[in-house]
Structure 1
Amino acid sequence: MSPPPPGQPYRPGPPPGWSPAPGMFGAVHKPGAIPLRPLSLGDLYDGAFRIIRFNPKATVGSAVLVAAVAMAVPVLVTAVLTWTIGLAYDPSSGSGDDVDNEAISYGLLGVGVLLQALGLVFVTGMVVHVVSAAAVGRRLTLGQAWSATHGRRWRLVGLAAVLGLTTTLGIAAFAVLWVVTAVVAPLVVAILVIVATVVLFFTLLFWFWIRVYYLAVPPMMIEGVGVFASIARGYRLSRGAFWRLFGIGLLTWLIAAIAGQMLAVPFTIAGELGGLAAGDDLYLFVTVLGTALAQVTSTAFVAPFTSAVTSLQYVDQRIRKEAYDVELMRRAGILES
């Protein structure tokens, strides 16, 4: 900095209008939705919302499409049963036929939820590619995101089956242990064993969620590895970062659950009130329709947001452990290959 002109006092600091040269104090490259450096909680959430905002068809659109197709099944079947065999329900009667009809409607909704869960496996894979592209400033359409999962879709199904079966077997094992303990052991011993194993159960469940389940899909999509290799890759990436991943994952789940309920409640209430107004003959159809719309609306936010945050945490872990930001800079054209 040059000295002040003669006759003017010296004032510390830069002169008016001065600004640092590019890169003088270091630069944070941000060619896309996220800065290419280790990500803070604010970076993760800001990046997730940016990705959803600038890729709405490939994120919200894909989730809505899957949820709408899945939930159309219980709505259409309920409509057919209503107008053919008279699937009626009187909320005040409690008769056997009414109980059976209500069970049928809940069963149909359960089928829709299962179909939606299967479809959302593919949505998660698509969102991973959307996030990867958004990190370097590229935007994917719905068709491009779907095409990016080509060759890995059955792997996604296999991964979901392995993780789901493992979770189910683990929960079933603890449930059997609790039932046997309650039946065989004295009351005091049974209470102590159940309390102790409940703590162990949730500890193992949370450990499994973060170390095995949480980061398994992104490696399969981005790195092209198989089912068990993707689980092992997620396990390695989560090593030494359990509490950070767990805290952000739990907070994300709470935000998604609260927001999803806020979006769904109006449709659920409208379905109940509409069912009462429509009468016994149409009560189940209207309530199923309202529940289906609530499910679609909730999924439109929950699925893209949680998938985007998880995918960004995968990117963050690779940046922290493997200098993945350098690779992303090369892909963005910031650095030469």
Structure 2
Amino acid sequence: MTDTPGWTPPGPSAEPDASAPAAPAATPAPQGTTPPPAAPGPYGGGYGSWGTGPAAPGPQPGGPYGPQFGGPYGWGAPPSPKPGVVPLRPLGVGEILDGAFSTARIHWRTCFGLSIVLAAITEVVQALAEWWGYRSGSATTYAFASYAVLPLDLLVGVIAGGLLTIVVSRAVLGQPTDLKDAWRSTRPRLGQLLGLTGLQALIMGGLFALLLGAGSTDLFGPALPLLMLPILAVIIWVVVSIGFAAPALMLEKQDVITALKRSWRLVHGAWWRIFGINVLLQLLLFLIAAIAVLPFAALAYAFGAGFGDPFAAESDTAAGIGIALLAVGGTVVKCITIPAAAACTVLLYVDQRIRREALDIELARAAGLPGHGAPHATVPGQTTPPGA
């Protein structure tokens, strides 16, 4: 998908395909006769540029939309083409979530290989921070150490999203991607991806610092409740609004600032829908994580390490075993949740571009589906088609 022109923002108008044969002129039927029905196209016929063209004017048998919109009885529209994990049309919530998990399941080798390294890094840092907090003997220090790695989790999420964008984008076209292909496509953009990650971290760090400042009664006094809620709302609004920056940077070859602006424009007008789908995804991932980590927590409890609380452990050794087991469980969980979250972000991005820019037509052409023109030729090893 990165090698096709559909990932750059389309212009205000599209030129017709000059290589396509011209349609023969229609011959009017003799008066008093019924013209024969149009021959069905590759997806049922009559569905815009995907079939035989628009229906003839006037009443049509089989319903107001004619038989070409669903057979002789005129019920429903023809099925949308689905070369990969999702159909090429505006997506529903269930299709986005199903496509995200289908990508992780079908391309599990690549997704697992990309995720396990990032997950292991975050969990090792988390375990070391928790062990330091436990050895300090202070529950407050332990809590601070546990939450201090949240910025690292955010950074890993953005980096993983950028790396897995290539995998998901090609999964939409039904094309496999291995680790070597994903790295080859990601490497030229890795510096900009890291720059985007750092800029997003600065933005979020500044907003969270403002939130923590609002939480200080010495600083704001009685205005505390009135300040924290608006700041929290702004944080959530910004997080959702810049959530498509990594896909825009990776797939449209944008620079960092342009990718942030591009994400803002794509989300504008659909913020609540995108926010709701993300909330639903996070709830689903939370349930999956709770189920997946439960065996490791139970095993830690069996070793006398307490149920997730090292201060309830029978000894320092038991506490260390408990922290280590939960770190292993966390790595397993992240190997599931990181690909699913990244895939959901990319599919939401694709859905927005389909809704606003008719990207589905470009995707169908890139997938080589019949009736959509030949895929645009690219030079081997070139990540962007000529003139894109």
TM-score normalized by the length of structure 1 = 0.76
Does residue 205 in structure 1 map to residue 235 in structure 2? yes
Provide Cα deviations, 1:287-322, integer angstroms capped at 9, x if missing partner: 221121121021022111111111100000000111
Residue 46 of structure 1 aligns to which amino acid in structure 2?
Answer: D
The alpha-carbon deviation at position 225 of structure 1 amounts to 1.0
1:130 pairs with 163, 167, 170, which one? 167
Q: CA deviation at 1:74?
A: 6.9
User: 3-state DSSP class of the match of 2:349?
Assistant: helix
User: Are the aligned partners of 1:105 and 1:288 in contact in 2 as well (CA < 8 Å)?
Assistant: no
Pick one of 339, 349, 352 that aligns with 1:317.
Answer: 352
| Inter-CA distance 111–176: structure 2 relative to 1 (3 Å threshold) | closer
Unaligned stretches of 5+ in structure 1? 1-19, 82-86, 90-96
Tell which deviates more after alignment, 272-281 or 299-308. Answer: 272-281
Q: Distance in 2 between matches of 1:129 and 1:306?
A: 14
Deviation at 1:53, TM superposition (A): 1.4
Where does structure 2 lack aligned partners over 5 or more consecutive residues?
1-41, 46-67, 70-77, 307-312, 375-388
Matched, 1:252 2:281: yes
Q: Within 5 Å, give how 1:191-202 maps onto structure 2.
A: 191=222, 193-202=223-232
Q: Which amino acid aligns with 1:287?
A: G
Name the one with the larger helix percent. 1
**Residue number in structure 2 paired with 1:44:** 96
Which of 283, 288, 293 is equivalent to 2:318?
283
Alpha-carbon shift at residue 42 of structure 1 (Å): 1.4
Structure 1 partner of 2:180: 143
Who is 1:304 aligned against?
A: 339
In the alignment, is the contact (CA less than 8 A) between 1:105 and 1:284 conserved in 2?
Answer: no
Amino acid at match of 2:297: T
For the 8 Å contact 1:120–1:303, the answer to whether it is kept is yes
* 1:39 CA drift (Å): 0.5
> Residues 73-222 of structure 1: matches in 2 within 5 Å?
99=137, 107=145, 118-179=155-216, 182-183=217-218, 190-191=221-222, 193-212=223-242, 214-222=243-251
Q: Structure 1 residues 288 and 279 mapped into 2: Cα distance closer, same or farther (>3 Å)?
A: same
| Contact 1:70–1:115 (CA under 8 A) maintained in structure 2 | yes
Residue 243 (structure 1) aligned to one of 272, 275, 289: 272
Which residue does 2:31 correspond to in 1?
A: none
Aligned residue among 246, 260, 267 for 1:231: 260
Distance 2:88 2:231 in 1: 38
CA distance 1:184–1:144, change in 2 (3 Å): closer
Task: Name the structure 2 match of 1:60.
Answer: 112
Equivalent AA in structure 2 for residue 153 of structure 1? L
1:127 shift after superposition? 1.8
Task: Identify if the C-alpha distance between structure 1 residues 112 and 283 changes in structure 2 by more than 3 Å, giving closer, same or farther.
Answer: farther
Paired residue type of 1:174: L
Give distance in 2, aligned partners of 1:162 and 1:115. Answer: 14
- Give CA deviations for 1:49-99 in whole Å, capped at 9, x if unaligned: 221111001223321232235535677x79xx9xxxxx9x8xxxxxxx661
Describe the superposition over 1:5-33 as per-residue Cα deviations: whole angstroms up to 9, x where unpaired. xxxxxxxxxxxxxxx99333234111111
224-233 or 169-178: bigger deviation: 169-178
Coordinate RMSD, CA, aligned: 3.1
Distance (whole Å) between structure 1 residues aligned to residue 249 and residue 184 of structure 2: 15
| Percent sequence identity over aligned pairs | 29
Aligned-pair distance for 1:261? 2.2
**Structure 1 residue 178 displacement after superposition:** 4.1
